[in-house]
Structure 1
Amino acid sequence: MTISVVRVDDRVIHGQTMTRWTKARPVDGILVVGDAIAHNELRRKVLKAAANELKVGIYTTAEAPEKIAKGIESKKNFFLISDSPQTFSQLVDMGVDFGGTLNVGPMNTRPNTKILGRTVAIDQNDYAAFENIAKHGVDIQFQLLPDDDIRHWDTMKAKYDSMD
């Protein structure tokens, strides 16, 4: 069917994903992409438990192109989620077409980040990743919850660029 949401969320699968996003968009399963996540057995178990009845596939960046293509070709609807924009930047560089929109949820404060708004803090690596994704024609939308206002990358980029 389709990839119904493509999202960066540093918590990946959690209460908001299950109670709000899965109600706002059609979803039959969740595809999680991230090397650190795929190689962490405890985190894999926690994410699968958080997804309740939804099937979850957790893949490395190298495995992702094939799995995303299968998701798009299937009769089901999938969420595609990673904890980092760098993962999506790598995917677009690999030629993966996950759709024209990247939704950005929580990217909480970490060392060496600039706080751009509620639950959005990015560093230079995130900035470069968003620039690369945008260069590939993907609309980057910052939105915590489905009914929140959308802020686009150009607005967030201007705010980042204005900070010292």
Structure 2
Amino acid sequence: MTISVVRVDDRVIHGQTMTRWTKARPVDGILVVGDNIAHDMLRRKVLKAAANDLKVGIYTVAEAGEKIEKGITSKKRFFLISDSPKTFAQLVSNGVDFGKVLNVGPMNTRPGTKVLGRTVALDQDDYNAFETIAKNGIDIQFQLLPDDDIKSWSTMKKKYDSMS
């Protein structure tokens, strides 16, 4: 499989993506998925500029299945990223195979979220999305940077549930 990293990061492509993650898990290109991102022309331009020399493809959820499949069968290595776990839950529900591990980076505080730790804040929709993903056999790993310890979904879920 040539998807090096599958990640949720609310900033999508930014300095840490380019300096840390693409060095720890080398890639030739970045596949960005999200309806909100794909339809925002200014954000598309900013993300492509942030990627430096890497090629970037930005797709809606409907387009993503075919593009991810091409990425998996390609000889090139890709970073698959979205700004929300809901996008990955939609992909799973659509039968898209993006691998067995979902890495979760920053999901910063937003209205209606519970802060579970450094840069991780979830609302009920995020929680439900992670449950859908986990029930489909995907290992969800919360990790801000490649050198950081990984926290499992079960650990984060318990913390979320204890805050109810």
Above 0.5 in TM-score?
Answer: yes
CA shift digits 1:130-160 (9 cap, x unpaired): 0000000000000000000000000000000
Secondary structure of the corresponding residue to residue 31 of structure 1: strand
**Shift, 1:123, TM fit:** 0.1
- Please tell me the root mean square deviation across aligned C-alpha atoms, in Å: 0.5
Aligned to 2:130: 130
Q: Does 1:158 align with 2:158?
A: yes
- 4+ residue segments displaced more than 2 Å: none
SS of the equivalent of 1:66 reads helix
Q: What do the CA deviations read for 1:36-57 (whole angstroms, capped 9, x no partner)?
A: 0000000000000000000000
One-letter code of the match for 1:97?
Answer: D
Q: Which residue of 2 aligns with 1:21?
A: 21
Aligned to 1:94: 94
Percent identical pairs in the alignment equals 83
For the residues of structure 1 that align with 2:102 and 2:17, how far apart are their CA atoms?
15
CA distance in 1, matches of 2:26, 2:76: 9
Amino acid at match of 2:35: D
Gaps of 5+ in 2: none
Deviation of 1:26 (Å): 1.8
Output the TM-score relative to the length of structure 1: 0.99
Alpha-carbon separation, structure 2, partners of 1:97 and 1:68: 8
For 1:21 and 1:32, locate their aligned partners in 2 and report how far apart those are by CA, in whole Å. 15
Q: How does 1:1-164 map to 2 (within 5 A)?
A: 1-164=1-164
Q: Counterpart of 1:17 in structure 2: which amino acid?
A: T
- SS of aligned partner of 1:63: helix
CA–CA separation in structure 1 for the residues paired with 2:137 and 2:3: 17
Unaligned runs of 5+ in 1: none
Aligned residues: 164
TM-score scaled by length of structure 2: 0.99
